[in-house]
Structure 1
Amino acid sequence: MAKATKKQALGRGLSALLKDPENDIKSVSDKNADKVIGNVVELDIDSIEVNPFQPRSNFNDEALEELASSIRELGIIQPITVRKLGFNKFQLVSGERRFRASKKVGLSTIPSYIRIANDQESLEMALVENIQRQDLDPIEIALSYQRLIDEIQVTQEKLSDRVGKKRSTITNYIRLLRLDPIIQTGMRDGFISMGHGRALINIDKKKDQLAIYEKIVSDRLSVRETERLVKAYKEPKGASAETTRPKEETVPEFVSKGMEVLKEYLSAKVDISASSKGKGKIVIPFHSEEEFERIQKIMTGE
């Protein structure tokens, strides 16, 4: 615990400076701003509010508990980032898991990088930083990209430069938002992968998306199998996925054996179609009057 106590003492002097009403820092040009802005300061945890621009909405309880245990033993290894809202009032920009875990542990202060930013800059910082994380699900990433485009008014090309991702990657994520909300939830919960989602995007009707989604989950279809199923849905256009799946005709054993006997007996080609229930028809083609009479005599015994 000594190690944790030592880390918690970081930035105590700067923290006192922020609590002095005569030294309220509102911009980077204010006196003592250089001592605080961009530095690690120990802030009262109750002076920090959650960022409404936070793209993450799912927090795994088990992972949060593990992080809380780590903080209990070692303290905060990586400071959170906040922006200054007013006198001794701050808002999270990034590090909400660390913030939540610290509150769970019962810490009264937390080491923080302080920034001065307006709402748009705060949104951009929060979204761009969170997009870089490895533990966001595909829908969270897609929502982050879409919010950046809508609220900061950037094109996909400019967004590509800012986040260091190919434009095609950004497009593929954003297209996931065209899926039915139930399917989006299924992706977030891990029932299907992004590959499954990308295949389902090609289905325009939400009810058909859902029908195929249910089949993917119930039959545990792979991405490749899902792609084949979607392709079958699209051919012919307008038919349902189930009806367009290739049907394998299973000919009963007695039919397959009997067909060979008939061919040999009639010395002619015999076409037989039959269902698995035993119903069907026999077709015996002929090419001349003489051939027809020959087959007739064999069949009637005349």
Structure 2
Amino acid sequence: MARRNSLKDEWKFESELVSENQSIGIEAITLPASQPRRYFDPQKLQQLTESVRQHGILEPLLVRPTGKAGLFELVAGERRFRAAKQVGLTAVPVTIRELSDEDSLQLALVENLQREDLNPVEETEGVLQLLGLRLNIPPIDVPPLLYRMRNEAIGNTNQNVLINSEAQAVEKVFAELGTISWESFATTRLPLLRLPPEILEALRSGKLAYTKAQAVARIKDDQQRRQLLAKAISQDLSLAQIKTEIAKLKAAQEPAEVGDSSLKGQIDDVLRLAKRSQVWIDPKKQRRLEKLLAELKTLVADKE
């Protein structure tokens, strides 16, 4: 909690504090049209609801005036807001600030990105949205920038290009978030966006852990992947069990590949076995292999 509060203090916004720690009617608060967070873990939300039932709202919600008399828009604290409505509170403590649309969205993103229960898909999308706001570019243009920064950092391109305003802004955002480095984000989080849609949805809704999702995504066949995904969720399979299921699928496919009795199939089988055996490591076998390969090249090159 301390880290999140300090981060809010570090973030600079052009805002004016209208009122702090006052109570307003919960019906006077509306949710923003653009909400960074779309999924809330039902179990954790229920735990918070029970806490609010017993102790009330301990941390004020952050709201801003809507321009309509007596109405306010929620900026940060949606979980507390939902819990308060579930309990039936008629009024909640708030801090009221005058904020622009951009500053309001940035504060909401910062609030969410500091939560421990944020799933990896929402975290990734939230970081991209926040970077887009800070860099004044569409979120879709952020991944190419991060990949370019990574290539420059590992020496694939001119290192001097890395020292520019965009890169410095990116590094500042990740330093202020304090949860992950931009290098790690580019390596481990951006690949999430290339996962099949059904796996992304399972991750976003908290039905599947990140490591399990990565394993299931390795199945190329759409139908087999969806079936295993459904099984992994319904039976709460462990990562080891998912890997066992994947091994079974691969084993079921091997007889069709190895059992081809045609000449072409036999050649494919021999090449596959040769690659697995690493026969070329033995000097004597290597010479024999070179001779056989030379004969094979002569044979396949003969057009008659």
Shorter-chain TM band: 0.5 to 0.7
Question: 1:68 and 1:215, CA in 2 relative to 1: closer, same or farther beyond 3 A?
Answer: closer
Residue 52 of structure 2: aligned partner: 71
Letter in 2 for 1:178: R
User: TM-score by structure 2 length?
Assistant: 0.55
Residue 116 of structure 1: aligned partner: 98
Shift of 1:146: 2.4
1:110-158: per-residue Cα shift (whole Å, max 9, x none)? Answer: 1112222111111111111101101111112122122223444365534
- 2: CA distance between counterparts of 1:117 and 1:162? 20
Q: CA RMSD for the aligned pairs?
A: 3.9
Superposed, which structure 2 residues align to 1:40-55 within 5 Å?
40-55=21-36
- 1: CA distance between counterparts of 2:100 and 2:71? 14
The structure with the largest helix share of the pair is: 2
Shift of 1:49: 0.8
- 2: CA distance between counterparts of 1:49 and 1:119? 14
For residue 58 of structure 1, the aligned residue among 39, 56, 66 is: 39
- 1: CA distance between counterparts of 2:89 and 2:225? 48
Residue 106 of structure 1: aligned partner: 88
Residue 197 of structure 1: aligned partner: 213
Shift of 1:242: 6.6
- 1: CA distance between counterparts of 2:31 and 2:229? 37
For residue 125 of structure 1, the aligned residue among 88, 107, 114 is: 107
Higher relative contact order, structure no. (Cα contacts within 8 Å, ≥ 6 residues apart): 2
Query: Within the alignment, does 1:184 sit opposite 2:200 as a pair?
Result: yes
Residue 175 of structure 2: aligned partner: 161
- 2: CA distance between counterparts of 1:223 and 1:42? 51
- 2: CA distance between counterparts of 1:54 and 1:180? 24
Residue 3 of structure 2: aligned partner: none
Q: Percent identity over the alignment?
A: 31
Shift of 1:96: 0.8
Residue 82 of structure 1 aligns to a residue whose secondary structure is strand
Residue 177 of structure 1 aligns to a residue whose secondary structure is helix
Residue 93 of structure 1 aligns to a residue whose secondary structure is strand
1:78-106: per-residue Cα shift (whole Å, max 9, x none)? Answer: 11111222243211111111111212222
Letter in 2 for 1:161: A
User: TM-score by structure 1 length?
Assistant: 0.55
Structure 1: gaps (5+ residues): 1-25, 234-239, 250-302
Conserved? CA contact 2:61–2:81, under 8 Å: yes
Letter in 2 for 1:136: L
Letter in 1 for 2:176: R
- 1: CA distance between counterparts of 2:66 and 2:55? 29
Letter in 1 for 2:185: I
Structure 2: gaps (5+ residues): 1-13, 137-141, 147-169, 260-304
Letter in 1 for 2:28: S
Which entry has the higher C-alpha Rg, 1 or 2? 1
- 1: CA distance between counterparts of 2:40 and 2:242? 31
Aligned length: 207
